[in-house]
Amino acid sequence: MRVLTKEQISLNLVGLAMCMALAAWWYWQSTGVQAVPALIEQLHDPDPSTRIVAADWLGDIGPKATAAVPSLLVLATKDSVQHANTTAAAALRHIDLAAARLVMAHYVPFLNVGDIQSRRTAGAVIGELGPVAKPAVPSLIALMHDPDELVRRNVLAALGNIGIPAGEVSNALFAGLRDPSALVRQAAATQLAFAVPLPRERVDEITAMLDQQDAAVSGLLRNALEKTRQGDAARVETFVLMIGQSTGREYALHQLARLGPTAIAAAPILITVLQDDRPMHRYLAVEALSAIGAGGGQTIVALTPLRHDPDPIVRESATDALAAIDSRSPALHNGARESPRVKP
Protein backbone atom coordinates (compact mmCIF):
# COMPACT_ATOMS: atom_id res chain seq x y z
CA MET A 1 0.00 0.00 0.00
CA ARG A 2 1.30 3.46 -0.95
CA VAL A 3 0.89 6.84 0.78
CA LEU A 4 -1.32 8.07 -2.08
CA THR A 5 -3.43 6.00 -4.42
CA LYS A 6 -3.16 6.40 -8.19
CA GLU A 7 -6.53 8.19 -8.17
CA GLN A 8 -5.35 10.67 -5.54
CA ILE A 9 -2.16 11.40 -7.51
CA SER A 10 -4.18 11.84 -10.72
CA LEU A 11 -6.57 14.22 -8.95
CA ASN A 12 -3.67 16.40 -7.78
CA LEU A 13 -2.20 16.41 -11.29
CA VAL A 14 -5.55 17.49 -12.72
CA GLY A 15 -5.61 20.29 -10.14
CA LEU A 16 -2.16 21.41 -11.31
CA ALA A 17 -3.24 21.33 -14.96
CA MET A 18 -6.24 23.49 -14.07
CA CYS A 19 -4.00 26.00 -12.25
CA MET A 20 -1.72 26.18 -15.30
CA ALA A 21 -4.70 26.72 -17.58
CA LEU A 22 -5.96 29.46 -15.26
CA ALA A 23 -2.54 31.18 -15.30
CA ALA A 24 -2.43 30.97 -19.11
CA TRP A 25 -5.93 32.47 -19.35
CA TRP A 26 -4.96 35.24 -16.90
CA TYR A 27 -1.86 36.03 -19.01
CA TRP A 28 -3.87 36.04 -22.23
CA GLN A 29 -6.51 38.35 -20.68
CA SER A 30 -3.88 40.75 -19.36
CA THR A 31 -1.64 41.14 -22.40
CA GLY A 32 -1.91 42.18 -26.05
CA VAL A 33 -5.06 43.80 -27.34
CA GLN A 34 -7.11 42.30 -24.46
CA ALA A 35 -5.22 44.55 -22.03
CA VAL A 36 -6.23 47.77 -23.81
CA PRO A 37 -9.41 48.59 -21.81
CA ALA A 38 -7.60 48.16 -18.47
CA LEU A 39 -4.65 50.22 -19.75
CA ILE A 40 -6.97 53.03 -20.85
CA GLU A 41 -8.27 53.14 -17.27
CA GLN A 42 -4.71 53.26 -15.99
CA LEU A 43 -4.01 56.30 -18.18
CA HIS A 44 -6.36 58.19 -15.82
CA ASP A 45 -4.69 56.88 -12.65
CA PRO A 46 -3.69 59.58 -10.12
CA ASP A 47 -0.22 58.00 -9.86
CA PRO A 48 2.04 59.37 -12.68
CA SER A 49 4.21 56.23 -12.84
CA THR A 50 1.10 54.09 -13.50
CA ARG A 51 0.03 56.45 -16.31
CA ILE A 52 3.54 56.31 -17.80
CA VAL A 53 3.76 52.50 -17.65
CA ALA A 54 0.31 52.20 -19.26
CA ALA A 55 1.21 54.62 -22.07
CA ASP A 56 4.47 52.82 -22.75
CA TRP A 57 2.66 49.47 -22.85
CA LEU A 58 0.01 50.78 -25.25
CA GLY A 59 2.82 51.91 -27.57
CA ASP A 60 4.17 48.36 -27.51
CA ILE A 61 0.75 46.99 -28.50
CA GLY A 62 0.82 49.31 -31.52
CA PRO A 63 -2.00 50.00 -34.02
CA LYS A 64 -4.32 47.49 -32.26
CA ALA A 65 -4.54 49.93 -29.34
CA THR A 66 -6.44 52.53 -31.41
CA ALA A 67 -9.15 52.74 -28.71
CA ALA A 68 -6.57 54.38 -26.44
CA VAL A 69 -5.81 57.26 -28.83
CA PRO A 70 -8.17 59.86 -27.24
CA SER A 71 -6.82 59.18 -23.74
CA LEU A 72 -3.23 59.17 -24.98
CA LEU A 73 -3.82 62.50 -26.72
CA VAL A 74 -5.00 63.98 -23.42
CA LEU A 75 -1.98 62.53 -21.63
CA ALA A 76 0.43 63.83 -24.27
CA THR A 77 -0.97 67.34 -24.34
CA LYS A 78 -2.59 68.02 -20.94
CA ASP A 79 -0.74 66.00 -18.29
CA SER A 80 1.33 68.08 -15.89
CA VAL A 81 4.18 65.53 -15.84
CA GLN A 82 6.61 65.91 -18.76
CA HIS A 83 7.59 62.23 -18.70
CA ALA A 84 3.91 61.33 -19.13
CA ASN A 85 3.69 63.74 -22.10
CA THR A 86 6.76 62.27 -23.80
CA THR A 87 5.76 58.63 -23.16
CA ALA A 88 2.24 59.21 -24.52
CA ALA A 89 3.70 60.95 -27.59
CA ALA A 90 6.10 58.05 -28.17
CA ALA A 91 3.19 55.59 -27.84
CA LEU A 92 1.03 57.53 -30.31
CA ARG A 93 3.68 57.36 -33.01
CA HIS A 94 3.35 53.55 -32.90
CA ILE A 95 -0.46 53.56 -32.78
CA ASP A 96 -1.76 56.36 -34.98
CA LEU A 97 0.42 58.65 -37.09
CA ALA A 98 -2.36 61.23 -37.53
CA ALA A 99 -2.80 61.47 -33.75
CA ALA A 100 0.97 61.84 -33.39
CA ARG A 101 0.82 64.74 -35.85
CA LEU A 102 -1.94 66.33 -33.73
CA VAL A 103 0.43 66.23 -30.75
CA MET A 104 3.11 67.85 -32.89
CA ALA A 105 0.69 70.55 -34.04
CA HIS A 106 -0.26 71.17 -30.39
CA TYR A 107 3.35 71.63 -29.24
CA VAL A 108 4.91 73.55 -32.16
CA PRO A 109 3.39 76.91 -31.02
CA PHE A 110 4.87 76.29 -27.54
CA LEU A 111 8.36 76.39 -29.05
CA ASN A 112 8.00 80.15 -29.32
CA VAL A 113 6.36 81.05 -26.00
CA GLY A 114 8.09 83.02 -23.26
CA ASP A 115 7.90 80.31 -20.61
CA ILE A 116 11.15 78.31 -20.62
CA GLN A 117 9.62 75.11 -19.25
CA SER A 118 6.98 75.10 -21.99
CA ARG A 119 9.71 75.35 -24.65
CA ARG A 120 11.70 72.55 -22.98
CA THR A 121 8.63 70.29 -22.82
CA ALA A 122 7.63 71.11 -26.40
CA GLY A 123 11.10 70.15 -27.67
CA ALA A 124 11.14 66.92 -25.66
CA VAL A 125 7.63 65.82 -26.72
CA ILE A 126 8.13 66.64 -30.41
CA GLY A 127 11.37 64.64 -30.32
CA GLU A 128 9.56 61.58 -28.96
CA LEU A 129 7.28 61.61 -31.99
CA GLY A 130 10.31 60.61 -34.07
CA PRO A 131 10.22 60.79 -37.89
CA VAL A 132 6.50 61.53 -37.96
CA ALA A 133 7.34 65.01 -36.60
CA LYS A 134 9.29 65.84 -39.78
CA PRO A 135 7.17 68.97 -40.48
CA ALA A 136 8.36 70.41 -37.13
CA VAL A 137 12.03 70.40 -38.21
CA PRO A 138 12.10 74.04 -39.44
CA SER A 139 10.50 75.26 -36.18
CA LEU A 140 13.03 73.27 -34.14
CA ILE A 141 15.97 74.57 -36.17
CA ALA A 142 14.73 78.11 -35.59
CA LEU A 143 15.05 77.48 -31.86
CA MET A 144 18.71 76.50 -31.96
CA HIS A 145 19.80 79.87 -30.62
CA ASP A 146 17.41 79.84 -27.68
CA PRO A 147 18.96 81.50 -24.60
CA ASP A 148 18.20 78.39 -22.46
CA GLU A 149 20.71 75.55 -22.87
CA LEU A 150 18.17 72.84 -21.93
CA VAL A 151 15.85 74.06 -24.67
CA ARG A 152 18.75 73.89 -27.15
CA ARG A 153 19.71 70.42 -25.90
CA ASN A 154 16.13 69.16 -26.21
CA VAL A 155 15.88 70.67 -29.71
CA LEU A 156 19.04 68.86 -30.87
CA ALA A 157 17.90 65.57 -29.31
CA ALA A 158 14.53 66.03 -31.03
CA LEU A 159 16.17 66.72 -34.39
CA GLY A 160 18.28 63.59 -33.99
CA ASN A 161 15.21 61.49 -33.17
CA ILE A 162 13.27 62.89 -36.12
CA GLY A 163 16.28 62.38 -38.38
CA ILE A 164 14.63 63.47 -41.62
CA PRO A 165 15.22 65.41 -43.85
CA ALA A 166 18.79 64.18 -43.26
CA GLY A 167 20.52 67.24 -44.73
CA GLU A 168 18.79 69.80 -42.50
CA VAL A 169 19.15 67.60 -39.42
CA SER A 170 22.88 66.94 -39.85
CA ASN A 171 23.55 70.64 -40.58
CA ALA A 172 21.76 71.54 -37.34
CA LEU A 173 23.74 68.95 -35.39
CA PHE A 174 27.02 70.28 -36.80
CA ALA A 175 26.01 73.77 -35.74
CA GLY A 176 25.24 72.30 -32.30
CA LEU A 177 28.83 71.06 -32.03
CA ARG A 178 29.90 74.72 -31.91
CA ASP A 179 27.43 75.69 -29.19
CA PRO A 180 28.98 77.49 -26.19
CA SER A 181 27.33 74.99 -23.80
CA ALA A 182 29.12 71.64 -23.26
CA LEU A 183 25.72 70.05 -22.53
CA VAL A 184 24.41 71.07 -25.95
CA ARG A 185 27.62 70.00 -27.75
CA GLN A 186 27.36 66.63 -26.04
CA ALA A 187 23.74 66.25 -27.18
CA ALA A 188 24.75 66.96 -30.77
CA ALA A 189 27.72 64.57 -30.60
CA THR A 190 25.54 61.83 -29.06
CA GLN A 191 23.15 62.01 -32.00
CA LEU A 192 26.03 61.80 -34.49
CA ALA A 193 27.60 58.91 -32.58
CA PHE A 194 24.50 56.77 -32.20
CA ALA A 195 21.60 57.91 -34.38
CA VAL A 196 22.38 60.19 -37.30
CA PRO A 197 24.73 58.90 -40.03
CA LEU A 198 27.77 61.13 -40.48
CA PRO A 199 27.99 62.44 -44.06
CA ARG A 200 31.37 61.52 -45.63
CA GLU A 201 32.03 65.10 -46.68
CA ARG A 202 31.97 66.08 -43.01
CA VAL A 203 34.62 63.58 -41.88
CA ASP A 204 37.57 66.02 -42.21
CA GLU A 205 35.64 68.73 -40.39
CA ILE A 206 34.89 66.37 -37.49
CA THR A 207 38.49 65.12 -37.36
CA ALA A 208 39.72 68.70 -37.09
CA MET A 209 37.26 69.31 -34.27
CA LEU A 210 38.47 66.42 -32.07
CA ASP A 211 41.21 68.40 -30.30
CA GLN A 212 38.99 71.42 -29.73
CA GLN A 213 36.28 69.53 -27.83
CA ASP A 214 36.26 68.21 -24.27
CA ALA A 215 36.97 64.53 -23.63
CA ALA A 216 33.33 63.36 -23.53
CA VAL A 217 32.38 65.08 -26.80
CA SER A 218 35.62 63.95 -28.49
CA GLY A 219 34.90 60.35 -27.48
CA LEU A 220 31.44 60.55 -29.02
CA LEU A 221 32.80 62.13 -32.21
CA ARG A 222 35.42 59.36 -32.49
CA ASN A 223 32.54 56.91 -32.26
CA ALA A 224 30.77 58.77 -35.10
CA LEU A 225 33.96 58.65 -37.19
CA GLU A 226 34.36 54.94 -36.45
CA LYS A 227 30.93 54.29 -38.00
CA THR A 228 32.01 55.86 -41.30
CA ARG A 229 34.81 53.27 -41.65
CA GLN A 230 32.16 50.70 -42.50
CA GLY A 231 31.29 51.34 -46.14
CA ASP A 232 27.82 52.63 -47.04
CA ALA A 233 27.12 49.44 -49.02
CA ALA A 234 27.82 47.28 -45.95
CA ARG A 235 25.60 49.44 -43.76
CA VAL A 236 22.77 49.33 -46.27
CA GLU A 237 23.15 45.56 -46.45
CA THR A 238 22.89 45.35 -42.66
CA PHE A 239 19.73 47.48 -42.63
CA VAL A 240 18.19 45.40 -45.43
CA LEU A 241 18.74 42.28 -43.30
CA MET A 242 17.21 44.05 -40.29
CA ILE A 243 14.07 44.88 -42.28
CA GLY A 244 13.49 41.16 -42.55
CA GLN A 245 13.27 40.92 -38.76
CA SER A 246 10.17 42.40 -37.16
CA THR A 247 12.00 43.77 -34.08
CA GLY A 248 14.55 45.92 -35.92
CA ARG A 249 12.41 46.92 -38.88
CA GLU A 250 11.47 50.43 -37.77
CA TYR A 251 15.06 51.30 -36.81
CA ALA A 252 16.42 49.98 -40.11
CA LEU A 253 13.83 51.89 -42.16
CA HIS A 254 14.57 55.07 -40.24
CA GLN A 255 18.31 54.66 -40.85
CA LEU A 256 17.74 54.09 -44.58
CA ALA A 257 15.60 57.24 -44.72
CA ARG A 258 18.52 59.08 -43.08
CA LEU A 259 21.11 57.66 -45.48
CA GLY A 260 19.39 59.08 -48.58
CA PRO A 261 20.69 58.33 -52.11
CA THR A 262 23.48 56.04 -50.84
CA ALA A 263 20.76 53.56 -49.81
CA ILE A 264 19.68 52.95 -53.41
CA ALA A 265 20.44 49.20 -53.09
CA ALA A 266 17.66 48.97 -50.49
CA ALA A 267 14.98 50.26 -52.90
CA PRO A 268 13.61 46.78 -53.85
CA ILE A 269 13.01 45.76 -50.22
CA LEU A 270 11.63 49.22 -49.37
CA ILE A 271 9.06 48.73 -52.12
CA THR A 272 7.90 45.51 -50.43
CA VAL A 273 7.58 47.36 -47.08
CA LEU A 274 5.04 49.72 -48.71
CA GLN A 275 2.55 46.85 -48.19
CA ASP A 276 3.39 46.50 -44.46
CA ASP A 277 0.50 46.43 -41.95
CA ARG A 278 2.05 49.13 -39.74
CA PRO A 279 1.48 52.69 -40.98
CA MET A 280 4.80 53.78 -39.42
CA HIS A 281 6.68 51.21 -41.51
CA ARG A 282 4.90 52.29 -44.70
CA TYR A 283 5.57 55.93 -43.85
CA LEU A 284 9.28 55.31 -43.26
CA ALA A 285 9.55 53.23 -46.44
CA VAL A 286 8.00 56.12 -48.41
CA GLU A 287 10.37 58.60 -46.73
CA ALA A 288 13.36 56.36 -47.44
CA LEU A 289 12.38 55.96 -51.11
CA SER A 290 11.85 59.69 -51.34
CA ALA A 291 15.28 60.37 -49.79
CA ILE A 292 16.90 57.88 -52.17
CA GLY A 293 15.37 59.73 -55.12
CA ALA A 294 14.20 58.24 -58.39
CA GLY A 295 14.78 54.52 -57.84
CA GLY A 296 13.30 53.67 -61.23
CA GLY A 297 9.81 53.34 -62.65
CA GLN A 298 9.03 50.52 -60.24
CA THR A 299 9.36 52.90 -57.27
CA ILE A 300 6.84 55.30 -58.75
CA VAL A 301 4.48 52.46 -59.64
CA ALA A 302 4.72 51.17 -56.05
CA LEU A 303 4.26 54.63 -54.49
CA THR A 304 1.29 55.66 -56.60
CA PRO A 305 -1.36 53.45 -54.85
CA LEU A 306 -0.23 54.88 -51.49
CA ARG A 307 -1.89 58.17 -52.45
CA HIS A 308 -5.04 56.30 -51.38
CA ASP A 309 -3.53 54.69 -48.26
CA PRO A 310 -5.95 54.40 -45.29
CA ASP A 311 -3.51 56.43 -43.19
CA PRO A 312 -3.61 60.17 -44.01
CA ILE A 313 0.05 60.70 -43.07
CA VAL A 314 1.20 57.90 -45.38
CA ARG A 315 -1.02 59.39 -48.12
CA GLU A 316 0.49 62.83 -47.62
CA SER A 317 4.03 61.46 -47.54
CA ALA A 318 3.47 59.38 -50.69
CA THR A 319 2.02 62.38 -52.53
CA ASP A 320 5.01 64.52 -51.49
CA ALA A 321 7.45 61.77 -52.47
CA LEU A 322 5.87 61.39 -55.91
CA ALA A 323 5.96 65.15 -56.40
CA ALA A 324 9.63 65.24 -55.40
CA ILE A 325 10.52 62.38 -57.75
CA ASP A 326 8.45 64.02 -60.47
CA SER A 327 10.34 67.29 -60.07
CA ARG A 328 13.66 65.44 -60.30
CA SER A 329 12.79 63.26 -63.32
CA PRO A 330 9.38 64.15 -64.80
CA ALA A 331 9.83 61.95 -67.87
CA LEU A 332 10.32 58.87 -65.71
CA HIS A 333 7.27 59.69 -63.63
CA ASN A 334 5.01 60.18 -66.64
CA GLY A 335 6.30 56.97 -68.18
CA ALA A 336 5.66 55.00 -65.01
CA ARG A 337 2.14 56.37 -64.56
CA GLU A 338 1.28 55.11 -67.99
CA SER A 339 2.75 51.66 -67.40
CA PRO A 340 0.51 48.89 -66.05
CA ARG A 341 0.73 48.24 -62.28
CA VAL A 342 3.20 45.52 -61.39
CA LYS A 343 3.17 43.74 -58.09
CA PRO A 344 6.31 44.72 -56.17
Task: Report the interface residues with other proteins, using CB under 8 A.
Answer: 1-4, 8-9, 12-13, 15-16, 19, 23, 27, 30-31, 35, 42, 45, 47, 49-50, 53-54, 56-57, 60
Residue-wise over 144-161: b if at least 16 C-beta within 10 A, else e? bebeeebbbbbbbbbbbb
DSSP state of 210: T
Residue-wise over 199-209: b if at least 16 C-beta within 10 A, else e? beebeeebeeb
Query: Of 168, 131, 155, which Cα lies nearest the Cα of 288?
Result: 131
Comparing CB distances to other proteins, the nearer of 57 and 110 is: 57
Q: Minimum Å distance from CB 217 to other proteins?
A: 24
Q: Rounded to whole angstroms, what are the CA distances from 131 to 143, 272, 312?
A: 18, 20, 15
Q: Rounded to whole angstroms, what are the CA distances from 323 to 28, 312, 329?
A: 46, 16, 10
Residue 284 near residue 257 (C-beta atoms within 8 A): yes
Comparing CB distances to other proteins, the nearer of 12 and 112 is: 12
Query: Of 211, 127, 217, which Cα lies nearest the Cα of 169?
Result: 127
DSSP string, 89-154: HHHHHHH-HHHHHHHHHHHGGGGGSS-HHHHHHHHHHHHHTGGGGGGGHHHHHTTTT-S-HHHHHH
Q: Is 148 left (phi over 0), alpha (psi -120 to 50) or beta?
A: beta
Distance, in Å, from the CA atom of 332 to the CA atom of 218, rounded to the nearest integer, reads 45
Q: How many CB atoms lie within 10 A of CB 291?
A: 21
